Structure 1
Amino acid sequence: MTEHPLNSSEVTGDELVEVEPAEVLLTDRSAGYSPPRLLPDVRPTGGVIRERWEDFKVTEIPLYTPCGAGEHLYITIEKSNRTTIQARNHIARVMGVHPDSVGFAGFKDKRAITTQTFSVAVLSDAQVASIDAPWIRVMGLQRHKNKIRTGHLEGNRFEIRIRQVEAGTIDDAKHIVDEVASSGMPNFYGPQRFGIHGDGARIGSCLLRRQVAEVVDLLLSPRDGVEEDYREAYAAGDIQEALRRLPPGRNAESGLLSSLRTHPGNLRAAVRRIPAPLRRMYYSAYQAELFNWVLMERMARSPDAFRVPWSGDVCQFEGSRSRFHVDLDETATEREKERALKGEISPTGPIFGRKMSLPAGEAGRIESAVLISEGLRPESWLSHVRGLKLDGTRRSLRILVRDPEVIWEQPEQALLLSFTLPAGSFATVLLEQVMGSGSESPTV
């Protein structure tokens, strides 16, 4: 077998395969997110999560341990019912710094109790005591030499309580979780990746194409299925009233409305006011939707295509970002399949961008067809914002779940699932395997 190493931070894109999408694609992106269950013959537990805040807990696992010295103060907090951006902005106000100077490794669930660390470049920690509020409290302080950046994260530990289930479902839940722990599960992006109304990918697509009117409409205008008072005020032309009605934490909408109040009708200037982290999030949501589509395409051809490599695939070593192309030779492919089944490597899917490496063979045809069907080429991925690059990368198609535990809580009459996932993976993917599709019914 010949391995062709790829530097994960400096890959050169392979040639797009010129295909007719209708002749290649088996699924429709408009059908939405619908991952298949790995054990369809095992009864799902059903039930609901997030009936109470303490039912859904996420604890960040840092990529490294702070050294104890340096200009950056690492503030570990626990928050409830607030977004990561809201927590960041609150910390920035208290510490007297610009929000963009506050670092964090990744976004955490809003409707949950989450623990994560932020970094602030300050010499004194005298203001830290003022961070505590009913929804946020400081858990620890440390110092380090660098700002926390997106991706400075090893993974997350989850504790999730499933209510409205019968005690007898624990056997089925354990069976599913044991299978997932043994073989892994598809690394789909969960629905929360796409925003509260599920339109994050559409906004990212419009930003990429510089369709500013469509971006403003998606974020501000009334539409079917979305009932928000500020949208009605915007449609009536009352920008000030729309700002007054805007719910807390809606930074993109706030930036748009503030700009339109000062510069009426200038949509392009308004869109430039979308904060850089949110703009990056919208682009990422579009990339995530296309990744999910590729993964659905593969599993439509073979249920184990998320963990078993094909000829021409770009594979990744587990626990590493080192990648290589699988040769088109049948003997080499069989050898890589054996390594994948042992958990040593996994096939990867596309986070499309200008420098992303495309696979060969059938995997390359699928990824090329998805890109072409969107009217895009590798060189199309330009953010139009200085300093925000869309180079792309590869993402493992398989998640390996660590340290899973399923117990029945008699006092709570609920199942408690505990498990660890690598950074960038979604607990909802595992929950859908256990509970069944559409079982999550938060009451908050």
Structure 2
Amino acid sequence: MPLASEAWLDRFVGMNYYVTDCEGIGGRIKERLEDFIVEEVLIDGQVVPTGITGKPLPKIVSKPGPWVWMIIEKRGIDAITLSLVISRKLGVNYRDVSFGGLKDAIAVTSQVVSVRGVSINEVPNDFGRDIKVLNAVSMDRAFTTSDIWGNEFTIKVRNIDVSRKDSINCVINQLMERGLPTYYGYQRFGLKRPNSHIIGKHIIFGEFEEAVNELLTHAYPMEPPRIREVREFIARTGDYSKALELMPRSYRYYPERAVLKQLASNPRDFVNALRKLPHELLNLYVESYQSYLFNLALSERIGRGLPINKALPGDAVALLDEHGLPTKHVIYVNESMVDKVNELIMRGRAVPVGHLVGYNTKLPPGLQSDIELDVLRREGVDLSMFMVKSIPKLSIRGGYRPLFTKPIIISTNLANDGLNIVFRLPRGNYATVFLRELMKSKHPEIDFT
């Protein structure tokens, strides 16, 4: 019987089961920013380093063009804030700032960020004390997701239960045997405010007032008391003008302030209030709900005792490229070909995938599709809802996501102050999903922040 999670946050974001059944080591991460280091790994294997690990800077060949690629090290900054800070400091539209992937906010992270419409000479050494520029080169195009392989994580887990040190190898061995579930991790939904998928669900259902209320008024216990008081004030009074005065001017509360500013002049204009948010953020909300549905379906597969690292008849399988990353070449497996496909999976040439549902998703007969349809029925979702008529740019066609991956473990070291572990994951995967299997925390809202 698969091991069910006891954590309310796991269930709240759809991660209902573990794939390993070893005891957890407990512990906490991110007690200090330096405890969680994320370094981007480029498609050619070069690492984009932080100053902490001392790795050399990657060799990126400069090309003349309207773009500048910057190697950025940031501390405790989320991706949306990073884009806003860079765009304002350089005087460009935030849509001219691009990167290959989101990184953890509560961490020290490094990545390549590209900006259009500036020259090398305009790039500063930093964008404030928490955003350093380690290098910059001119380039003829934007930096995109296709330029990265994934991330290397250097993590310290403190306050672990040393009596369970054997669990470290137990978890790693089972993950190599069974595969790491490709759940969307806590960061996708938020830890202090785990509600991006709830806002996204309201948008999909056309419930724009409810989406705004979730953004503005729902106070979560892990938020600072002052912010909870502001949210409760909005819920109680509906005084958007006064709330705009009370809401801090920090970049962290930019979404709330942008929406409040619109509502202060048009109190019932909820759709246009949402439109004041960056498209990337709105898209993140909708995709978060899509991610939640994926997590629920993956949980259900694990909960039924079905393998995630083997194909079953009716499963969709994506072929992998030379870097071990999924391609757009997806096949549906029938009974006659299942053995050959599983041979490809075992050799690292293919991977079973689940649907990231959208308005164009087709669900052929099979166990995985049955699971996904059950999830949609329970949620009351029709695929046509992902065609968002009031904000068409938020419409989602749908896609695929692998059901499992295998972490590359570089080193583990058990010290007096905790476990030091270094590992890599392909792009789109979350270190916290790996650490969740290792720690099995009952209170991730505390232990993962």
- Aligned counterpart, 1:368: 373
Instruction: Give the conservation status (yes or no) of the 8 Å contact 2:100–2:144.
Output: yes
Aligned with residue 206 of structure 1, among 202, 207, 210: 202
Q: Give how far 1:428 is off.
A: 1.0
Bigger relative contact order (CA 8 A; separation at least 6): 1
The change in CA–CA distance for 1:224 and 1:432 in structure 2 (over 3 A counts) is closer
The alpha-carbon deviation at position 152 of structure 1 amounts to 4.5
- 2:111 is aligned to 116
CA distance in 2, matches of 1:401, 1:443: 19
Structure 1 runs not aligned, ≥5 long: 1-28
1:168 and 1:233 map into 2 onto residues whose CA distance is: 47
**Which residue pairs with 2:359 in the alignment?**
354
Aligned equivalent of 1:234: 234
CA contact (8 A) 1:46 1:439 kept: no
Corresponding position: 1:246 with 2:242: no
Alpha-carbon distance between aligned partners in 2 of 1:382 and 1:375, rounded to the nearest angstrom: 15
User: Secondary structure at the residue paired with 1:58?
Assistant: strand
User: TM-score with structure 2 length normalisation?
Assistant: 0.84
Task: Give every structure 1 segment of 4 or more consecutive aligned residues whose post-TM-superposition deviation is greater than 6 Å.
Answer: none
Structure 2 partner of 1:38: 19
Q: Which residue of 2 aligns with 1:422?
A: 426
54-63 or 370-379, which deviates more: 370-379
Superposed counterparts of 1:155-170, under 5 Å: 155-165=150-160, 169-170=164-165
CA pair 211-32 structure 1, distance change in 2 beyond 3 A: same
Contact 2:359–2:397 under 8 Å retained in 1: yes
Partners in 2 of 1:207 and 1:324 — Cα distance? 29
**Counterpart of 2:169 in 1: which secondary structure?**
helix
Equivalent AA in structure 2 for residue 52 of structure 1: R
Is the CA contact 2:25–2:162 (under 8 Å) kept in the aligned structure 1?
Answer: no
Indicate which of 126, 144, 160 corresponds to 1:131. 126
Output one character per residue of 1:205-244: Cα deviation in whole Å (capped at 9) or x when no partner: 1111221110111011245746523313423344344224
Contact 1:230 1:241 in 2 (8 A): no
Residues paired across the two proteins, number: 411
Conservation of the 8 A alpha-carbon contact between 1:183 and 1:341: no
Query: Structure 1 residues 126, 238: closer, same or farther in 2, change over 3 A?
Result: farther
Q: Could you report, residue by residue, the CA deviation over 1:2-39 in whole angstroms, capped at 9, with x for unpaired residues?
A: xxxxxxxxxxxxxxxxxxxxxxxxxxx97653443333
> 1:296 — aligned with what?
299
For residue 53 of structure 1, report the CA deviation from its aligned partner. Answer: 0.9
**1:54 aligns to 2:34 (yes or no):** yes
Mapping of 1:328-347 within 5 angstroms? 328-329=334-335, 331-347=336-352
Per the TM alignment, residue 106 of structure 1 is displaced from its structure 2 partner at its CA by 2.1
- Normalized against structure 1, the TM-score is what? 0.85
Pair 1:389–1:152, CA change in 2 (3 A): farther
Contact 1:311 1:361 in 2 (8 A): yes
Report the 3-state secondary structure (helix = DSSP H, G, I; strand = E; otherwise coil) of the residue aligned with 1:203.
helix
SS of 1:250 mapped into structure 2: helix
Query: 1:116 & 1:169 partners in 2: Cα distance?
Result: 35
SS of equivalent residue, structure 1 residue 292: helix
Q: 1:202 offset after TM fit, Å?
A: 1.2
1:306 maps to which of 300, 305, 308: 308
Q: Give % identity.
A: 27
CA distance in 2, matches of 1:62, 1:357: 33
CA distance in 1, matches of 2:384, 2:329: 22
State whether residues 401 and 419 of structure 1, in contact with CA within 8 Å, keep that contact through their aligned partners in structure 2: yes
1:353-377 superposed Cα distances (whole Å, 9 cap, x missing partner):
1233434222222222322333333
State how far apart, in whole Å, the 2-side matches of 1:322 and 1:264 are: 44
Contact map agreement 2:313 2:338 (CA 8 A) in 1: yes
> Partners in 1 of 2:118 and 2:268 — Cα distance?
43
Task: Note the C-alpha offset of 1:253.
Answer: 1.4
| Cα drift, residue 283 of structure 1 | 0.7
1:437 and 2:433 equivalent?
no
Quote the Cα distance in structure 2 between the aligned partners of 1:265 and 1:152.
43
Q: Compare 401-410 and 195-204 and name the one that shifted more.
A: 401-410
Distance in 2 of aligned mates of 1:393 and 1:62: 24
Measured against aligned partners, the alpha-carbon deviations of 1:307-341 in whole angstroms (never above 9, x if no partner) come to: 11110111012323143334432x42233234333
**Helix, strand or coil at the partner of 1:129:** coil
Is the 8 Å Cα contact of residues 81 and 111 (structure 1) preserved in structure 2? Answer: yes
Q: 1:439, CA displacement in angstroms? A: 5.8
**Rounded Cα–Cα distance in structure 2 between residues aligned with 1:333 and 1:97:** 52
Partner of 2:47: none
Q: 1:59 to 1:280 in 2, by over 3 A?
A: same
Q: Give distance in 2, aligned partners of 1:230 and 1:151.
A: 41
The one-letter code of the counterpart of 1:165 is I
Instruction: State the alpha-carbon separation in 1 of the partners of residues 188 and 448 from structure 2.
Output: 20
Q: Match of 2:4?
A: none
**Structure 2 counterpart of 1:417, one-letter code:** I
Unaligned runs of 5+ in 2: 1-9, 45-58
Whether the 8 Å contact between 1:170 and 1:415 is mirrored in structure 2 is: no
* Equivalent residue, structure 1, for 2:7: none
Indicate the residue corresponding to 1:256 in structure 2: 259
Structure 1 counterpart SS, 2:297 = helix
The range that moved more, 183-192 or 63-72, is 63-72
Equivalent positions of 1:173-184 (< 5 A) are: 173-184=168-179
AA of the residue aligned to 1:332:
M
For the residue of structure 2 that corresponds to 1:321, the secondary structure is strand
CA distance, structure 2, for counterparts of residue 338 and residue 348 of structure 1:
16
Taking the aligned partners of 1:326 and 1:350, their CA distance within structure 2 comes to 12
Residue in 1 aligned with 2:72?
77
Which residue in the other structure is 1:15 paired with? Answer: none
What is the match of residue 172 of structure 1? 167
* Corresponding position of 1:14: none
| CA distance in 1 between partners of 2:362 and 2:350 (Å) | 17
Contact 1:170 1:407 in 2 (8 A): no
Q: Residues 148 and 297 of structure 1: is their aligned pair in 2 closer, same or farther, counting only changes over 3 Å?
A: same
Gap change, CA 1:362 and 1:175, over 3 Å in 2: closer
Deviates more, 1:223-232 or 1:152-161: 223-232
Aligned-pair CA distance for 1:204: 0.5
Specify the code of the residue in structure 2 equivalent to 1:50: K
